[in-house]
Amino acid sequence: MSDAQNTGNAASEMRPTLREALRKARIEAADRTGVVVELRDAEVARLEILNEALDPLFAQVPEKVDLFDRGISQGETPRLWIDVVAHVVMGRDKRVYRFVQDTRFGRIVLAESHDVPVIVDAVTDYVARRIIEREHAMVATAKVAEPVPAEKPRRRRGFGMFLLGFILGALALFGLALFASLGNL
């Protein structure tokens, strides 16, 4: 009787979950779509698969960090946005995930792969770097906010030196004129 229970437990552990079955069905459906009209739907389906794979990552992001606004845009070219400057788009063959970032110097490809786990790893690294950048920016702003003692302007000191030089020059001219007038007598 214990063998029957062990066999039942082993069978229940081997059954796939509904989420895994849905994921597998979506992948199969996306692979079968070959019609041009359905290519966009296949892109969106693949991006939704990636979006679901990113759920555990974004569940770990602290709530106070508001850098990330993840979502799929349904435009002419569907995109899975990670934040304002980074997104995942499907490649030309509609089977390759391309993780890109917009910079001042143009768009750079951070990762490109057919496999979801590779892109998830790249997005995880990107999210970690962005959180660290935020922490450094927060520390830098705190240091700038410290009050700095005001220095006296150098202009007054320079004007005082000019005035002293003017007075000494006038006295020197007066002394020279007095010496010259005494020498003529």
Average pLDDT, the chain: 81
pLDDT, tens digit (0-9, with 9 covering 90-100), for 60-71:
988 888 888 888
Of the chain, the percentage scoring pLDDT greater than 70 comes to 76
Phi-psi region of 13 (alpha: psi -120 to 50; beta: other; left: phi over 0): alpha
pTM over 0.75: no
Q: What is the largest CA-CA distance in the chain?
A: 143
